[in-house]
A and B are shown apart, each in its own frame.
Chain A
Amino acid sequence: MTHSVDNPLHHPEVEQASFAGYLANFVITVVVMTAALWVVGDKSLSTLGFIGWTTLFAVVAVLVQAYFLLHMNWSKAQVWHTVAMLMFIPLFVVMIGLTAWMFHGLYERTMIAMPPHTMAAPMKRAAPAQAVPPVSQPVPAPKAM
């Protein structure tokens, strides 16, 4: 068991702060995000290439942030934070991935294909305060039983 240090400012979680690290994080993530934005304007990329590059930039940014900002490492102070994170990541992947997989097939099997961008004209609607949501005529509320 770790024991408390009398002065909280000497706690390892305070001491791990590093301006060089935070600055490096800032610079790298800004560069990577700028690159991602730049890719948006690149007309020569295929859709797949575009998705691949932007995803790659996102992954780089997040890894850098995990290291510098969230201090994901194996030091005594952070090890359980890291373990907890590592437990969650596969679950994120499982949930999003399996959901995407099953709905992809489902749409193919149950829906008439909807070619993108051909369906509706932009919905004409006033300011949101008056926006009446397009619910169909609700049945009148039943009396309390």
Chain B
Amino acid sequence: MSSTTDTRIQPGSTVLWDKGDAAGHDILGTRTFGFWLYMLTDAMVYAAFFAAFGVLAHNAGLNSKSVLAAVFNAQGAYRETIALFASVLAYGYAMVALKKGSRSGVAVGTVVALVLGLVFLGMVSGDMERLFGQGIVPQSNGFLSIVFTLIIYHALHIIVGAIWMLVMLAQMGRDGFTSNVVYRLINLRIFWHFQAVIWVFIFVFVYLQGKVI
């Protein structure tokens, strides 16, 4: 029986067992890594949506030009883009405040991010209402099904993020910057900033390029 190593035993100096608690693992880093993996699975969900978008776009012609023009409202989407990017910037400010250990800074940044997120949501739902009012609904045909699904799925994330922000404000108020609170604030950063990345795809490939579909 032979083992695969060239390490030889050094009598007296070879450490066989490590004392000290395994809790010495980098807990915060482990937490954010797992959350990042989750975030990537969510990206894969979007990728699958986009694959479906590519397939169903072949039948976009079922919609008249005016319907498509109403759906792909580039100006409105642009305003939404700015709101979302500003919200992301505000949360970035909160992260910088976290680095400095400033509770009020984190709170202000989070609240501003939350408000801007709600502004974004308000614009999206206004847009949906306008379309639904014209009878342009996900049930119309396959192409509109996937377009609405993409937009609404993204909006659901914003809702979840908003609730999460409220929870974090409460936890920070109660516990201060314990390691639990800190890693959750960082995960929230990953989550929130990721929404901006996804939005770039929706804005460009759905709203803008929808013009030439």
The docked-state distance in angstroms from the alpha carbon of A20 to that of B104 is 20
Q: Are A9 and B40 in contact (CB under 8 A)?
A: no
Within 8 A of A (CB), among B148-175: none
Stretch at the interface among B9-17, B43-51, B117-125: B43-51
B178: interface (CB < 8 Å):
yes
Within 8 A of B (CB), among A1-58: 1-4, 8-9, 11-15, 17-19, 21-23, 25-26, 29-30, 33-34, 36-37, 39-40, 47, 50-51, 54-55, 57-58
Counting chain B CB atoms within 10 Å of each CB, the highest count among A3, A13, A23, A124 belongs to: A13
> Interface residue tally of chain A, by bracket?
35 or more
The docked-state distance in angstroms from the alpha carbon of A12 to that of B186 is 11
The docked-state distance in angstroms from the alpha carbon of A22 to that of B92 is 6
List residues of chain B with CB under 8 Å of any chain A CB.
23-29, 32-33, 36-37, 40, 43-44, 47-48, 50-51, 54-55, 58-68, 74-75, 78, 81-82, 85-86, 88-89, 92-93, 95-96, 98-99, 101, 132-137, 139-141, 177-179, 182-183, 186, 189-190, 193-194, 196-197, 200-201, 203-205, 208-209, 211-213
List residues of chain A with CB under 8 Å of any chain B CB.
1-4, 8-9, 11-15, 17-19, 21-23, 25-26, 29-30, 33-34, 36-37, 39-40, 47, 50-51, 54-55, 57-58, 61-62, 65-66, 69-70, 77, 80-81, 84-85, 88, 91-92, 95-96, 99-100, 103, 107, 111, 114-128, 131, 133-134
